[in-house]
A and B are shown apart, each in its own frame.
With several copies, the nearest count.
Chain A
Amino acid sequence: MKAATVVEENLVRVLGDGGRVEKDKDPGLSDDDLLTLYRTMLLTRLLDERMVKFQRQGRIGFYIGSTGEEAAIVGAAFAMGREDWLVPSYRELGAAFLRGFSLREFICQLFGNAEDLIKGRQMPIHYASSRFRVLSISSPVGTQIPHAVGIAMAARIRKTREVVLVFLGEGATSEGDFHTSMNFAGVFKTPCVFVCRNNQWAISVPRDKQTASESIAIKARAYGFEGVQVDGNDVLAVYATTKEAFQKARRGGGPTFIEAFSYRLGAHSTSDDPRVYRSENEVLDWMKRDPLVRFRQYLEKKKLWDKERDEKLTHDLNHDILATLKEVEKIGPPPDQSLFEDVFGTMPWHLREQRDELLQWLKEKGDKLENN
């Protein structure tokens, strides 16, 4: 089972070994921007570590991380403007943070508590934020892709400058929704940028068993638009490539498909044990290309960063995480009757009846408990 296929020569790359950079390709971000990128990547990395532990302790029910793929996620989302739309799959927390989604909002969602923006309706990681134009995360693989294209079609119809960024895994390219969305995007020349995180695995299924195509990027040709393969562990390359795609989209140049070639270093989710299906060596090999390390070396070489600052930031972020967790753990669940809200904009008779039925049962139960 060989996981990684790559047409190496075509891979867009900016960051070289040891923090070196291909000068002509450097997107020339400001120091502040560079540090924002790094901070966001580090934050999700630290969250991954913490939350996996939390899940093991039974304090949250489930977690999905992005360890190893931070550059692909954060680099791409950094190309977005305020008016743009983010359509995530389920592994792009860093992108949501860049949109303005807060740590507290995120952790409330993990707990599904009374302050959770989605009212405890979905499993952890399935957040949504209309305020920041972050669409609602859905578990079924690939179903978000046509929504992204539809938003882009709407933006084109309304003649605005909005562009849509949609994320998907390489496994999602096998679903019908991927195909149909790409085809609509091509036909309607929609301002939509697809970023496919090719992390080599779809749970236990390796890239080569997912599709026989020579690369994932080449799939775009079947729809008449450009597909680019970028080093997904190189945050500057991902940013530069996505930025270009955004500019093209805003110019009316239509969609772009970006394959971010990367690797899932962690388990698929807290329900998974990857040791059953892949070798430790493969993982170790990819650890050498850790996107955080590569980016840090670049920042260090630029004298923007050093060990001390890194330790301090790590400490501060961990502190934020723990403090927020502590606060949020105290918040209770959403009220029972909220179960029946938002099925429709206005609650129809049968749901009103069912709500009353539930409240009645709960009362009976409570009475009984009291009597015992």
Chain B
Amino acid sequence: MPVMNIIQAVNDALRIEMERDDRVVVMGEDVGKFGGVFRATQGLYEKFGEDRVFDTPLSEAGIVGTAIGMALYGLRPVPEIQFADFIYPAFDQIVSELAKYRYRSGGQYSCPLVIRAPYGGGIKGGHYHSQSPEAYFIHTPGLKVVIPSNPYDAKGLLISAIRDEDPVLFFEPKRIYRASKGEVPEGDYATPLEKAALVCEGEHCTVIAYGAMLHTAREAVALAAEEGIRCDLLDLRTLLPFDVEAILESVKKTGRAVVVHEAPRTCGFGAELSATIHERALLHLEAPVLRITGFDTPFPYTLEHDYLPDAQRVLSGIRKTVKF
């Protein structure tokens, strides 16, 4: 099996889906001849031509808005937003239109499309090249939200997302775009949406993470193991609808949970996970669910290392939870 990084896996998934289904088109700023500022669409323009891989004018609202039209028509657009931080000009089209189109037309229309966007910090990107906006979309009925943490999943989940009947926000962990490498099968395979992966097992505590933070959490779990604390580590992969069964099964076993994400804490996805776990497993819990997250500040530049959860911080959360 070839070894790929996440960018290559994303590129491979796009190529495979475009070969399989001529309704799939790729669009966005700099995705054509240039191949994307992160190179995720490299080679597609040459292979599939400018009708199916094209640069757009500089307008995220236009990218998503016209992609909606294409999906209504019957195509399967895969628009790229250059950075997740720049998705907000398209927020109205996503929240008011994309998310609601099937529902408000009584199921007469649907908008199967995948918005790809690199998200997250750790690349010294400051305010606007670092954000993790997943909670906004998880809170919006009608959208699915997927975040892979490794090349294998990146490819398999992106293929599933493109084949899905509904709109998917597909956020890619740009911090580990190249650093995360692994074996990726050639050709076509689909990793099912809505299923978490149990990355490692242990009986003392459940650690829940996704995307780039999965790696931070894994480091922390390894450190905890050195101290004799053994953890279940769940990689959520699909954030909405999230895999409540996998979560509850693990938490009922361990009686403890730590949730990790980069986004600001207040009203972040960790709040939902915490609420859900407490609601459904209170009597199994030995400690409150703990959130290790980004702080409630805009994403900083110089103090990025203070802002982002690191393994030590997750470890200290695990310790605190286990000692509670």
Residue numbers of A with Cβ under 8 A of B are 1, 61-62, 85, 112-113, 116-123, 126, 128-131, 135-136, 138-143, 145-155, 157-158, 171-172, 174-177, 179-181, 183-184, 187, 202-205, 209-211, 271-272, 276-277, 333-334, 336, 338-346, 348-351, 354, 358, 361-362, 364-365, 368
Contacts and interface: CB of A to CB of B under 8 A. Distances in A.
13 contacts: A1-B33, A113-B302, A120-B300, A135-B72, A147-B69, A149-B69, A153-B66, A174-B59, A180-B57, A203-B30, A203-B37, A336-B306, A354-B295
Nearest to A353: B244
Interface in B36-63: 37, 51-52, 55-59, 61-62
B144 to A, nearest CB: 8
Contact of B70 (A121, A130, A141, A154): A154
Contact of A343 (B25, B141, B301, B302): B141
Given A143-B97, A181-B65, A365-B312, A116 B106 contact: yes
Contacts of B125: 123
A121 B127 contact: yes
Contacts of A142: 58
Interface in B89-141: 89, 92-93, 96-97, 100-110, 124-129, 141
Q: Among the interface residues B101, B142, B266, which one has the most CB atoms of the partner chain A within 10 A?
A: B101
Nearest to A119: B106
Contacts of B147: none
Given A121-B103, A122-B301, A139-B126, A339 B69 contact: no
Contacts of A348: 194, 241
Given A140-B97, A334-B302, 6 more contacts: A119-B107, A122-B104, A130-B108, A146-B61, A151-B69, A177-B92
Given A143-B93, A147-B72, A184 B30 contact: no
Contacts of B71: 150
B240 to A, nearest CB: 8
Closest 8 CB pairs of A and B: A150-B69, A146-B65, A120-B302, A150-B66, A180-B62, A139-B128, A204-B34, A118-B106
Contacts of B58: 141-142, 171-172, 174-175, 202, 205, 210
Interface in B137-159: 141-142, 144
Interface in B62-87: 62, 64-75, 85-86
B307 interface: yes
B97 A147 contact: yes
Given A62-B124, A140-B96, A354-B295, A121 B300 contact: yes
A128 B104 contact: yes
Nearest to B166: A344
Contact of B93 (A146, A172, A210, A272): A146
A328 B101 CA distance: 25
B306 A121 contact: no
A139 to B, nearest CB: 4
Nearest to A137: B104
Chain B contact patch, size range: 35 or more
Contacts of B106: 116-119, 121, 128, 342
B1 interface: no
B165 A346 contact: yes
Of B55, B61, B69, B101, chain A has the most CB atoms within 10 Å of the CB of: B69
B69 A205 contact: no
A369 B92 CA distance: 42
Given A177-B61, A364-B316, A157 B105 contact: no
B298 interface: yes
B313 interface: yes
B306 to A, nearest CB: 5
A150 B73 contact: yes
Contact of A354 (B103, B165, B265): B265
Given A180-B61, A184-B66, A350 B97 contact: no
A174 B55 CA distance: 13
A126 B57 contact: no
A127 to B, nearest CB: 9
A136 to B, nearest CB: 4
B283 interface: no
Contacts of B68: 146-147, 150
Contacts of B33: 1, 204, 276-277
A118 to B, nearest CB: 4
A142 B37 CA distance: 19
B303 A339 contact: yes
A345 B70 contact: no
Question: Which one of B35, B144, B165, B316 has the greatest number of beta carbons of chain A within 10 Å?
Answer: B316
A143 B96 contact: yes
Contacts of B17: none
B93 A118 contact: no
B132 to A, nearest CB: 16
B296 interface: yes
B69 A154 contact: yes
Contacts of A175: 58-59, 89
B117 to A, nearest CB: 14
Nearest to A187: B57
B281 to A, nearest CB: 15
Given A184-B66, A362-B306, A205 B55 contact: yes
A184 B70 CA distance: 13
A151 B73 contact: yes
B30 A136 contact: no
Given A350-B244, A354-B296, A140 B85 contact: yes
Contacts of B56: 184, 187
A211 B296 CA distance: 39
B55 A181 contact: no
B29 interface: yes
A358 B52 CA distance: 45
Residue of A118, A145, A153, A183 ringed by the most chain B CB atoms within 10 A: A153
Contacts of A336: 303, 306
Which residue among A117, A123, A171, A183 has the maximum number of chain B CB atoms within 10 Å of its CB? Answer: A123
